[in-house]
Amino acid sequence: MEEKSYSPGLEGVIAAETRISFLDVEREEIVIRGYNLLELIRRRSYVDVVGLLVEEQLPTEARRAELEGQLVGAAVPPAVYEILAKLPASMHSMDRLRTAVSALAGFDPEADTADPQRERAKAPRLIGQIAQIVANLPRIARGGKAIPFHGGRSFAENFLRTIVEREVSPTEVRAFDQILMAYSEHELPNSTFAARVVASTLSDVYGALCAAIASLKGPLHGGANEAVMYMLQEAKTPEGLERLIREKLARKERIMGFGHRVYMHRMDPRAQLLKEVARELVSAKGKGADLLAMCERGEEVMRAEKGLYPNLDYYAAPLYALLDIPIELYTPIFFAARSVGLIAHVIEQHRENRLYRPRVRYLGPRGLTL
Ligand code: ACO
């Protein structure tokens, strides 16, 4: 039999054709349905990105308002919160979220579909439900009652206010909206691949999203943002972080928030942008300069020692801290923001499906006798 080529971790392998997004590393551009993601982040809002990804074009003013209403008004079945309330408080927030998304399927009469049109129609509701569940995770874990989105002027404002339980300034809302856009879609990372693999069996969007949540939880992927914050908390000062990073590197440990399969030796463009957003937030709030200085020292040390640059999760961590978002929500927010990209990929997979079923290079024994 002809020997097929093998690339560990599928590095460099083209595993899908897509019209959704592309990382053009040479031009330092993240293309989202033809637009530059950084331009979208600078000039548009998360609701526009939802329209672009799911409905394949930027929404008109009228459609935008309608979409915002659908996202904010999506009702979460009370039973989903009741299920969450029964889980041990010690359970990881991503595991709680996976359980909630799985339970949501039970309340969707059309859960069991792989029809792209129907999936597209329910996408705004599902994205809105996921955001509300994420915002309420800590409250329910503490034995409290879920609060539905209400009173805010935008989806981002409702989402942030429900998390932090206080009034939020327009600068804070804008920063949060930009984080959501930065996380919205990014070609074929492990979680999106996992979702597409599940969808390729013609299984439904809920199963695909649960697979993506499991993938995203891992510290080599979405879980890195919370690990970054724990590292910053341990380090306390720029000098402390430099010392900690050097110690970890001497022990051959990985430094969370650095490196990326696609951008390994260059800065993730999203990280650069979030760093700018963090600077703006620090100057608007008049606090957090020390936290940012610590991150910048970490960035310098890693560049000098390993030639590695921050990925998105590195600067997301101080931004979340500046917004008073609890660490347990860092990775769930990643998922809430990414749910739109994942749903777009599930729809595309269902529209142009071919079952994923690769082969292996067998390294085990043969011919053993019983
Ligand atoms: N800290 C220290 N060394 C690193 C790091 C890091 N964060 N990342 C890569 N390296 C080193 C590896 O040790 C390896 O060195 P070696 O050749 O001397 O053994 C070299 O760089 C190549 O690393 P690989 O593991 O082969 O690269 P891979 O493409 O598999 O890794 C990954 C990508 C998993 C993201 C890696 O950079 C990493 O572990 N980063 C930390 C976790 C993290 O921040 N994840 C978030 C990714 S972005 C996202 O999900 C939004």
Tell me the CA–centroid distance for residue 65 and ligand 1, in Å: 41
Tell me the average pLDDT across 172-188: 98
Nearest C-alpha to atom 24 of ligand 1 is from which residue? 261
Closest ligand 1 atom to residue 254 Cα is 1
HSE, CB side, 13 Å, CA atoms: give it for residue 214. Answer: 12
When the pLDDT of each residue in the chain is averaged and rounded to a whole number, the result is 97
Residue with the smallest CA separation from ligand 1 atom 3 is 254
Express each pLDDT in 189-205 by its tens digit: 999 999 999 999 999 99
The two structure tokens encoding residue 131: 């955001």
pTM of the model: 0.97
Residue with tokens 């499906």: 353
pLDDT of residue 4: 77
- Whether 174 shows a pLDDT value over 90: the answer reads yes
Pocket test for ligand 1, best of 180, 225, 258, 334 (most atoms within 8 A of CB): 258
Q: How confident is the model at residue 264 (pLDDT cuts 50, 70, 90)?
A: confident
Which amino acid residue places its CA nearest to atom 36 of ligand 1?
259
Mean pLDDT of 284-292: 96
Q: How far apart, in whole angstroms, are the C-alpha atoms of residue 342 and residue 364?
A: 36
Q: What pLDDT is attached to residue 2?
A: 62
Q: β-strand 35-36 against 21-24: which pairing, if any?
A: unpaired
How many CB atoms are closer than 10 A to CB 19? 12
* pLDDT cut 70: percent of the chain above it: 99
- Which of 48, 177, 204, 313 does the annotation list as catalytic? 313
Q: How many whole angstroms separate alpha carbon 287 and alpha carbon 230? A: 20
- What is the distance between the alpha carbons of residues 298 and 312, in angstroms, rounded to a whole number? 14
Q: Would the pLDDT of 138 be above 60?
A: yes
Candidate of 273, 299, 301, 306 to mutate for ligand 1, largest count of ligand atoms within 8 Å of Cβ:
306
What is the atom index within ligand 1 of the atom nearest the CA of 189? 50
Q: Which of 260, 268, 345, 350 is catalytic?
A: 260
Mean pLDDT over 277-282 rounds to 97
Q: What is the CATH number of domain 224-322?
A: 1.10.230.10
Closest residue by Cα to atom 19, ligand 1, is: 252
* Residue 22 confidence (pLDDT) above 90: yes
List beta partners, residue 110: none
Ligand 1 — pocket residues by CB below 6 A? 9, 189, 220-222, 224, 254-261, 306, 308, 311-313
Q: In the annotation, is 260 catalytic?
A: yes
21-217+338-351 and 224-322 in the same fold: no
| pLDDT tens string 68-94 | 999 999 999 999 999 999 999 899 999
Q: Where are the domains of the chain?
A: 21-217+338-351, 224-322
3-state secondary structure (DSSP) of residue 76 = coil
Q: Taking 60 as the threshold, does the pLDDT of residue 131 lie above it?
A: yes
Q: Which pLDDT belongs to residue 18?
A: 98
Residue 85, pLDDT score: 98
**CATH number, domain 21-217+338-351:** 1.10.580.10
- Whether the pLDDT of residue 3 is over 70: the answer is no
Q: How far is CA 142 from the centre of its chain?
A: 24
Q: Is the pLDDT of residue 185 over 70?
A: yes
- In sequence order, the β-bridge partners of residue 31 are 22, 36
Query: Which residue's CA is the closest to the ligand 1 atom numbered 49?
Result: 221
For a mutational test of ligand 1's pocket, the pick from 179, 229, 264, 319, i.e. the residue with the most ligand atoms closer than 8 A to its C-beta, is 264
Read off the pLDDT of each residue in 27-48 and give the average, rounded to a whole number.
97
What's the confidence (pLDDT) of residue 265?
Answer: 82
pLDDT tier at 1 (50, 70, 90 boundaries)? Answer: low
Looking at residues 173-197, what average pLDDT do you find? 98
